[in-house]
Amino acid sequence: MSEQEPRELPEPGPPSAPQGRVLAAVAAGGALGALARYGALVLWPGAGGFPWRVFVVNVSGCALIGVLMVLTVERGRIAHPLVRPFLGVGVLGGYTTFSTYAADVSGLLARQEVAVAMAYTAATAVAALAAVWAAAVATRAWLDRGAGSGAGSDARSDVRSDTRSGVRDMGTGRAV
């Protein structure tokens, strides 16, 4: 065996919010997201074959993740340190469901509906990624249109070119 120096990992930065508050935000958001998913699955009765209910829940949740990431990370429109843990990890993490997706695929395979299982597997992955991308593009376009209207326009109207560095003023959330 070769003796290699172990790589040192960089120290994590200080949390932007106390860990107890982050945990509480994730837990509260997760409960709300799981309730929303359960409600959607109960209100929209399923039939055999392709699991449309879980597919729509997961794809719509991914679209909302695309919107959230543009608003919080890319554009800094929402700067509170608990927004991403609450909405992203909590609500949308609880709303979308990989476990039910996996159970649906397993059930389809157990019933020997291999073609449906394969279609569901591929369609979910492609549609989820497409939903994140399309929602992010649409959110950017909506924000850019609103910024160019003159009303409420501020220094963030041309933030896209400034945010590639990822450095933001902690007080204003604006790119520096």
- Asked if the structure places residue 172 within a domain, the reply is no
- Asked if the structure places residue 169 within a domain, the reply is no
Residues of the chain predicted below pLDDT 70: 1-17, 149-176
- Asked if the structure places residue 113 within a domain, the reply is yes
Scored b (16 or more CB within 10 A) or e, 65-97 reads bbbbbbbbebbbeebeebbbbbbbbbbbbbbbb
pTM above 0.75, yes or no: no
- Asked if the structure places residue 27 within a domain, the reply is no
- Asked if the structure places residue 102 within a domain, the reply is yes
**What sign does the CA torsion over 95, 98, 99, 103 have?**
positive
In the chain, the number of structural domains is 1
Burial of 38 (0-12, 13-18, 19+ CB in 10 A): middle
Q: Domain of 55?
A: 51-81+95-148
Structure confidence at residue 17 (pLDDT): 67
Closest CA to 58 of 110, 151, 132: 132
- Asked if the structure places residue 86 within a domain, the reply is no
Q: What is the pLDDT of residues 139-175, one digit of tens each?
A: 999 999 977 765 444 444 444 444 444 444 444 455 5
Rounded-to-integer distance, Cα 94 and Cα 170, Å: 29
- Asked if the structure places residue 32 within a domain, the reply is no
- Asked if the structure places residue 176 within a domain, the reply is no
